[in-house]
Amino acid sequence: MRFFSDNAAPVHPNVLATMAAANTLDTAYDGDAFSKRLDARLSETFETEVTALWVPSGTAANCLALAALCPPHGSIVCHRDAHIQNDECGAPEFYTHGAKLLLADGEGAKLTPDAITDILSLQRYDVHQQRPHAISITNATEYGRVYLPDEVAAIGALAKDRGLALHMDGARFANAVVGTGASPADLTWRGGVDALSMGFVKNGGMNAEALVFFGGDHAETTRYRRKRAGHLLSKGRYLAAQILAMLDDDVWLANARAANAGAALLADAAGDRLIHPVEANEMFLRVTADEAVSLRAKGFDFYDWGPGEARLVVSWDQQEADIRPLAAAIRAL
Amino acid sequence: MRFFSDNAAPVHPNVLATMAAANTLDTAYDGDAFSKRLDARLSETFETEVTALWVPSGTAANCLALAALCPPHGSIVCHRDAHIQNDECGAPEFYTHGAKLLLADGEGAKLTPDAITDILSLQRYDVHQQRPHAISITNATEYGRVYLPDEVAAIGALAKDRGLALHMDGARFANAVVGTGASPADLTWRGGVDALSMGFVKNGGMNAEALVFFGGDHAETTRYRRKRAGHLLSKGRYLAAQILAMLDDDVWLANARAANAGAALLADAAGDRLIHPVEANEMFLRVTADEAVSLRAKGFDFYDWGPGEARLVVSWDQQEADIRPLAAAIRAL
Amino acid sequence: MRFFSDNAAPVHPNVLATMAAANTLDTAYDGDAFSKRLDARLSETFETEVTALWVPSGTAANCLALAALCPPHGSIVCHRDAHIQNDECGAPEFYTHGAKLLLADGEGAKLTPDAITDILSLQRYDVHQQRPHAISITNATEYGRVYLPDEVAAIGALAKDRGLALHMDGARFANAVVGTGASPADLTWRGGVDALSMGFVKNGGMNAEALVFFGGDHAETTRYRRKRAGHLLSKGRYLAAQILAMLDDDVWLANARAANAGAALLADAAGDRLIHPVEANEMFLRVTADEAVSLRAKGFDFYDWGPGEARLVVSWDQQEADIRPLAAAIRAL
Amino acid sequence: MRFFSDNAAPVHPNVLATMAAANTLDTAYDGDAFSKRLDARLSETFETEVTALWVPSGTAANCLALAALCPPHGSIVCHRDAHIQNDECGAPEFYTHGAKLLLADGEGAKLTPDAITDILSLQRYDVHQQRPHAISITNATEYGRVYLPDEVAAIGALAKDRGLALHMDGARFANAVVGTGASPADLTWRGGVDALSMGFVKNGGMNAEALVFFGGDHAETTRYRRKRAGHLLSKGRYLAAQILAMLDDDVWLANARAANAGAALLADAAGDRLIHPVEANEMFLRVTADEAVSLRAKGFDFYDWGPGEARLVVSWDQQEADIRPLAAAIRAL
């Protein structure tokens, strides 16, 4: 049983079904009936008027957002362990044409106003340094932690105070919504988020993420950047269909709930071995090399995450019955 | 009945079926069973060892290819009407970090060695100008013309002689293969093509194109550029599956044959109205504004293409019975 | 006697003297006494409040201006023979991060509202093409022609009407001022120019040009771009000193007057051989290969400019006595 | 008396004199007699055949070097306090088109093989991260420390072993040569340095630095990048003249010797207040806010460098008599 990545999971049946339903003649690019419904549908979800662009990857969503919020001569505060810093092969630098990521510290890959303020206070604000223009946080974080609405709002307030834009990498946004019990609105724009990379792929989608802008005229220029980056797919309806399928009947929340619940099961079994509290669908575990070998020998697959650490991710489609054996195995270590 | 773009057509059933077959747990990104089969499968198609990368759009394929073949301080000869110049919002400049497109003339958007030589002879080859590094041709062209193997080879020989790389934008490569009756190998590497953007989307695919490298170590660095551009999708198997579905049972050729045949029917009806010979699945027609209105009144949808000109594109799924009414309407103008 | 480029000429003695006067301890970068005087001094020259940044080359001035006026996903209308297109090795694309130059035609490298309108009318204004954001004209042009205030104003009005910014490459701005007899203000901001690359190097300076912004907040972000491009020299006072030396006592106008007068002498001798009217300090001459050889045999050095054409440039320091022999030689051809 | 920056110092008389000597008609750009002598002259200095390009700033030298040594999808190891990271407004990212700086630690802004190895060991070497391509060290460092030949060679050996290129930011290279007593060759190519930004401006030059390549074909493509960045000045002879003037009669070494000696005098006075050993011409001093005020009240000008720290820099032209008063004042604190 694989627990190494929610990227490896299959696609939810509703997603496939809606893609099949989209399989008729329609307008090219994003002029089709499905794409046209996105803004309204997501505006409902977020209880405010939003503009959304589909893109086929989270990297594209993140970096189009950053390019909208920060000029080439600007800088962006993010966590040292952020996906945009460590896992996108410099896509932020590519899309922003060379903006600099300023790396802040914080437990569980979470930023705090203090940590951000510390980094900002090291900047000189003269022309010899790129001036901070934005903050990027990840919810749920790269270590499976969540930001609560108050925590987002505290960062949002700091951002506003400093004239910075706020981006949220929501590759696992659904897991954060479920994990916090907060509304999508409270986790984003009400807390000052300007742009959200709203992930669906890790949560049962195939290859469609939504880049959601809460106000501003960022969407207009981002349409050009999306095209220019090769992300305006010519048959966009198959991407829009995925997103709509995930939103309809709250599939996105049900899937995240399942994944989070599975991770909670494992967390319960892991006890003191937990490196971070489990608040979404990821678990980071202290294991010796021998223990890792023994888990793998039992058929459980996961990533090593530094020496003595393992990352286990539960996907939307993994049933309690699939997870109990791993929980038992962890308990038995 | 829509004839405005093959981008609007639905997806071939085999493509959907193979995507559904790929809908099981597998490795993330491009480590899955489907992605791993691509090189071997395309090597068969091209009768030589190739390296192929899937990407979700033709723009991505084209511009990753150009970035591999031309440095920022270089230039690329292409036709004035090339898609890379007119329809990609500067994606070549984005991906190459500012290489310059040198625009050559030629009937039907076709380049000839003479036209290329003319452009090259205008360059000064000093540091005040970007030095030519590559040539890009489109087969079938933006005006539905095809390059025959000899024509490709003549350009390939010129490229080799001048130390230039050769890229082929094959958004409608299948239509060119069918239209010329030539082998994929003869249309590409045997004629000196270094990199091919092999299109599937316009021909029955959903959102997968293959960037095919014929030798060189371009593929290795391009894997970084692909990631960096957000085009290494996290569930790549659904893209690889599409390409394999198109290649299996020669669906790609059957689809192109159908589209080309439909266009030939229309061409026969159009007679003197043809602006370019119809050699693939596109037809450019002389029509007055009134005639365009009358065709549209009969339910035929197409793009105006400059004053007095219309572009009509036949898609893989359009049956003879769908096309005959348009042929009749054109004849009746 | 060399007539191949005003870039080859020596530096005016006042420039050297002022640089020597600047040779005392002062603040680094652009905080020094000389740099601080630039805005006020140039505001006098232009009869309005301007913000000016020194840079060591015309390419830097041009491309920082273009980057201020056009985003990466935009395009810039310029003449097919513009320096920014042909002689800067893609610096515009480097600085703008890939904006596209749209090439217009026009006699003597001059743009007209009609020529610009023609190019604009070919753009589709959808996301598949880079949207026009700016126009760039050169005064005096690459063929030694000048724009009169009315001509600038007509282009400026068009620019304003279309929401485009207007840049003037003034590598030979002094020659244009002298050649037209117009005021610097009338040739620039009163006609709608937003940014001027004000050249001094070809006109007796050493390595300092002024990038002049007429309003807007372009200067602020351009200071970051200048630093980022390595053009914020650490001892900027030697650049500011050059510009001040050229402006003081109207050395810049005297120098341009001398050069233009020399070119007029040659033009008078050239008669029907002139390819373009001589309105500044450059002359383009019809000469056979044999005639070119004979002129060179007499010690006159110049550039061939396409078959049967020669370019001769008069520099600020060339005296009538230096020029008469060439005039005679041309007459004697 | 100012001790805040060697960038503020005047220019050595020989530099001005040689610039004046260059003030005759010559070829434009870098085809002149002075520029042509650079390679040979610097090859003598370095006891091996080098290729050198003049540029008007250290930022340009550094970033052209980095762009030559690292592709956009690569990364560069440098010290956390490196000038390229903190003081060039993202110029490395601009010139390399988005390569990432990997920040290593080390006393006195010095890198060690261990520190570099630590950083390298954190990289995953998969396509999700930019792959290390180069190391950049600064000699003398940003804290006035020097690398000895053995230290350079140890880093050079590591670089070679890992397939990385090695760049040296030598904004104060002369101070390092004098400070170590080592030969220019031993401090650079013999230790594995591929490219050196050889600074002259802080050491008595005006606005000319040399980018020196020790082998490889980097110089050829860098000529294009230099032009494209606006750093191929049209009257390059005035830059070449500066460099030649500094090299002739070993002015560069004499100037550095003077500056280093001045700093040594101050170091002697500072005793326990020294934050770093003084090995070149910079001194970092522990001072309370009150002490800083008192020093400034006596007419000594310097930068605060974090709380309780001051940076004092001695310039080439500061005489012992100028420095003794400051030494006394420090002693008297």
Residues of D in contact with C2 (CB under 8 A): 25
- The residues with which B209 forms a beta bridge, in sequence order, are B55
C-beta neighbour count of B298 within 10 angstroms: 13
Beta carbon pairs, A and B, within 8 Å? 143
Name the domain boundary from D249, D266, D297: D249
Nearest CA in chain C to B86: C129
Establish if C2 belongs to a structural domain.
no
Chain B nearest C-alpha distance from A223 (Å): 10
Same domain, D55 and D176: yes
Interface test mutation site (partner A, options B35, B64, B235, max chain A beta carbons within 10 A): B235
* Residue linked to tokens 């540029």: D55
Whether residue B86 and residue C127 make contact (CB cut-off 8 A), yes or no, is no
Per the CB < 8 Å rule, is C228 touching A128?
no
* Beta-ladder partners of B241: none
Tally the domains of chain A: 2
* Structure confidence at residue A196 (pLDDT): 98
Chain B positions touching D225 (Cβ under 8 A) are: 72-73
Domain for residue B3, yes or no?
Answer: no
Please indicate, yes or no, if residue C4 is contained in any of the structural domains.
no
Same domain, A178 and A99: yes
Token pair listed for C44: 């006098």
Same domain, A145 and A233: yes
- Name residues of chain A where pLDDT drops below 70: none
CA distance B100 to B82: 13
Whether the upstream peptide bond of residue A140 has omega within 30° of 0, thus cis, is yes
* A278 and A263 Cβ atoms separated by less than 8 Å: yes
Cβ neighbours of residue D303 closer than 8 Å, sequence gap 6 or more:
D4, D5, D310, D311
Nearest-by-Cβ selection for A221 from C71, C98, C226: C71
Average pLDDT over residues C36-55: 98
Question: Cα angle vertex B76, ends B7, B98, to 5°?
Answer: 85
| CATH number (domain holding residue B273) | 3.90.1150.10
Which residues 3-22 of chain A have a CB within 8 Å of chain B?
4-5, 7-11, 16, 19-20
For residue A90, the chain B residues in CB contact (below 8 A) are 228
pLDDT, residue B306, reads: 83
Nearest Cα residue to A164 out of A128, A220, A199, A125: A125
**Hey, what are D169's tokens?**
């930011």
Nearest to D104 by CA among D89, D115, D113: D115
Supply the pLDDT for residue B327: 96
Asked if residues C192 and C153 have their Cβ atoms less than 8 Å apart, the reply is: yes
Mean pLDDT, range C95-118, rounded to an integer: 98
Query: Is the pLDDT assigned to residue B64 strictly greater than 80?
Result: yes
pLDDT of residue C232 exceeding 90 = yes
* Strands A74-79 and A100-104, bridge-based pairing: parallel
Four-point Cα dihedral A275, A276, A281, A283, nearest 10: 0
Q: State the pLDDT confidence band at C19, using cuts at 50, 70 and 90.
A: very high
How many other C-beta atoms are found inside a 10 Å radius of the C-beta of residue C163? Answer: 9
CB B203 within 8 A of CB B6: yes
- The enclosing domain of A55 has a CATH number of 3.40.640.10
| C299-330: b (≥16 Cβ within 10 Å) or e | ebebeeeeeeebbbbbbbbbeeeebeebbebb
Does residue C1 lie within any of the structural domains? no
Q: How far is A49 from chain B (nearest CA, A)?
A: 27
Distance of CA D260 to the CA centre of its chain: 15
How large is the greatest C-alpha to C-alpha distance in chain B, in angstroms?
59
Q: Which one of B27, B73, B94, B131 makes the best mutation probe of the D interface by having the most chain D beta carbons within 10 Å? A: B73
Q: Is D24 left (phi over 0), alpha (psi -120 to 50) or beta?
A: beta
Cβ within 8 Å, pair D93-A93? yes
Whether residue B174 contacts residue B210, with contact meaning beta carbons closer than 8 Å, is answered with no
CB atoms closer than 10 angstroms to residue A71: 19
Answer yes or no: do C196 and C97 share one domain. yes
The token pair that represents A151 in the structure block: 């925590």
Residue A192 and residue A299 in one domain = no
Last residue of a domain, one of A249, A274, A303: A249
Q: Which residue is listed with tokens 């979800």?
A: A45
Q: What is the pLDDT of residue D306?
A: 83
Confidence of residue B26 (pLDDT cuts 50, 70, 90): confident
Q: Which of A67, B189, A231 has the alpha carbon at shortest distance from C127? A: A231
Residue D254 contacts by C-beta under 8 Å, 6 or more apart in sequence? none
Q: Is D127 on the interface with B (CB under 8 A)?
A: yes
Given phi > 0 = left and psi -120 to 50 = alpha, else beta, which region is C97? left
Contacts of A294 (CB under 8 A, 6+ apart): A329, A333
Phi, psi of B89 (to 5 degrees): 50, 35
Substitution target in D5, D78, D93, D95 with the highest count of A β-carbons within 10 Å is: D93
CB contact under 8 A, C88 and D230: yes
Residues B108 and B121: their CA atoms lie apart, in Å, by 22
Mean pLDDT, rounded, for C4-19: 94
Residue by residue, what is the 3-state secondary structure of chain C? Answer: CECCCCCCCCCCHHHHHHHHHCCCCCCCECCCHHHHHHHHHHHHHHCCCCEEEEECCHHHHHHHHHHHHCCCCEEEEEECCCHHHHCCCCHHHHHHCCCEEEEECCHHHCCCHHHHHHHHHHCCCCCCCCEEEEEEEECCCCCCCCCCHHHHHHHHHHHHHHCCEEEEEECCHHHHHHHHCCCHHHHCHHHCCCEEEECCHHHCCCCCEEEEECCCCHHHHHHHHHHHCCCCCCECHHHHHHHHHHHHHHHHHHHHHHHHHHHHHHHHHHHHHECCCCCCCEEEEECCHHHHHHHHHCCCECEECCCCEEEEECCCCCCHHHHHHHHHHHHCC
Residue C1: pLDDT band (50, 70, 90) is confident
Size of interface A-C (CB pairs under 8 A): 37
The answer to whether the CB atoms of D230 and C11 lie below 8 A apart is no
Q: Which of A86, A90, A127 is facing D89, going by the closest CB pair?
A: A127
Which residues lie below 8 Å from residue C31, measured CB to CB, with a gap of 6+? none
Distance from chain centroid for Cα C71:
22
Give the C-alpha separation, A82 to A96, whole Å: 17
Domain shared by C284 and C178, yes or no: no
Amino acid (one-letter) located at D97: H
Average pLDDT over residues B203-224: 96
Residue type, B240: A
Long-range pairs for D254-257: beta carbons < 8 A, 24 or more residues apart: D255/D12, D255/D174, D255/D203, D255/D204, D255/D316, D255/D317, D256/D172, D256/D174, D256/D175, D256/D177, D256/D178, D256/D179, D256/D203, D256/D280, D256/D281, D256/D316, D257/D178
Neighbours of B95 (CB within 10 A): 29
Same domain, C191 and C92: yes
Quickly count helices (H) and strands (E) in chain B: 14, 10
- Residues 180-239 of chain C with CB under 8 A from chain A are 221, 223-228, 232
User: Has residue C198 been placed in a domain?
Assistant: yes
How many Å apart are CA C203 and CA C9, to the nearest integer? 8
* Cα gap D171→D207, rounded to integer Å: 12
**Are residues D131 and B226, on separate chains, in Cβ contact within 8 Å?**
no
Interface test with B, best of A222, A224, A228 (most B CBs within 10 A): A228
Q: What is the bridge-based pairing of β-strands A195-198 and A165-170? A: parallel
Asked if residue A203 belongs to a domain, the reply is yes
- Distance in angstroms (rounded) separating the CA atoms of residues C59 and D55: 14
Same domain, D218 and D258: no
Domain's final residue, options C231, C249, C267: C249
Q: Which are the contacts of A307, defined by CB distance < 8 A and separation ≥ 6?
A: none
- Does the bond joining D140 to the residue before it have cis omega, within 30 degrees of 0? yes
Mutate to test the interface with C, among B70, B93, B129 (most CBs of C within 10 A): B93
Within a domain: residue A214? Answer: yes
In this complex, is the C-beta atom of A98 within 8 Å of any C-beta atom belonging to chain D? yes
Distance from CA of C161 to the nearest CA of D (A): 32
What was the pLDDT predicted at D25? 84
Judged by CB atoms closer than 8 Å, whether chains meet at C8 and D25 is answered as: yes
Q: Indicate the SS3 state at residue A34.
A: helix
How many angstroms separate the CA atoms of A50 and A38, rounded? Answer: 9
Phi, then psi, of A191 in degrees rounded to 5: -95, 5
Q: Is residue B31 part of a domain?
A: yes
Distance from CA of A32 to the nearest CA of D (A): 33
Q: Do C130 and B89 touch (CB under 8 A)?
A: yes
Kindly determine whether residue D25 and residue C10, on different chains, have CB atoms separated by under 8 Å: yes
Question: How close D114 gets to chain C, by Cα (Å)?
Answer: 31
Cα–Cα distance, C326 to D143 (Å, whole number): 59
Q: Which domain holds residue D268?
A: 251-331
Q: Which of A71, A191, A211 is nearest to A133 (CA)?
A: A71
What does the pLDDT read at residue B60? 98
Would you say residue B27 has pLDDT above 90? no
Sheet holding B309-313, edge to edge: B282-286, B309-313, B303-304
| Distance of residue C280 Cα from the nearest chain D Cα, in angstroms | 20
Q: Does B333 touch chain A (CB under 8 A)?
A: no
Cα Dmax for chain A = 59
- The answer to pTM > 0.90 is yes
Q: Which residues of B touch D232 (CB under 8 A)?
A: 127
Q: Tell me the CB-side half-sphere exposure of residue A324, using CA atoms within 13 A.
A: 3
Answer yes or no: do B206 and B320 share one domain.
Answer: no
Which of B95, B201, B235 has its CB closest to that of A201?
Answer: B235
Instruction: Confirm or reject contact between C171 and chain D (CB < 8 A).
Output: no
The SS3 assignment for D193 reads coil
Per-residue confidence at B91, pLDDT binned at 50, 70, 90?
Answer: very high
Question: Residue A297 is encoded by which pair of tokens?
Answer: 């020998």
Residues of C within 8 A of B89 (CB-CB) are 73, 127-130
Q: Which residues in chain D land under pLDDT 70? A: none
What is the Rg, in whole angstroms, of the alpha carbon atoms belonging to chain C? 20
Residues in A closer than 8 angstroms to D97, CB to CB, are 94, 97-98
Task: Note whether A241 and A257 are same-domain residues.
Answer: no
Question: Are B27 and B120 within one domain?
Answer: yes
Choose from A6, A207, A226, A301 for mutation: most chain B CBs within 10 A: A207
Q: Which residues of A touch C72 (CB under 8 A)?
A: 97, 225, 228
Co-location of B297 and B214 in the same domain: no
CA triplet D66, D67, D70: central angle to 5 degrees? 75
Which residue in the set A8, A88, A234 is minimally distant from B25, CB to CB? Answer: A8
Q: What is the pLDDT of residue A216?
A: 85
Distance from CA of A8 to the nearest CA of B (A): 5
What's the pLDDT score for residue B119? Answer: 97
Q: Which of D9, D89, D224 sits opposite C89 (nearest CB)?
A: D224
pLDDT score of C144 more than 90: yes
Assess contact for A253 and A172: CB atoms under 8 A: no
Indicate the average pLDDT of chain C.
Answer: 96
Q: By the 8 A CB rule, do B315 and A23 touch?
A: no
Render the burial of B74-91: b for 16+ CB within 10 Å, e for the rest.
Answer: bbbbbbbbbbbbbbbbbb
Question: Which residue is it, tokens 């190459």?
Answer: B96
Q: Which positions in chain B touch D72 (Cβ < 8 Å)? A: 97, 225, 228
CB C23, CB D16: distance < 8 Å? yes
**How would residue C27 be classed by pLDDT, with cut points 50, 70 and 90?**
confident
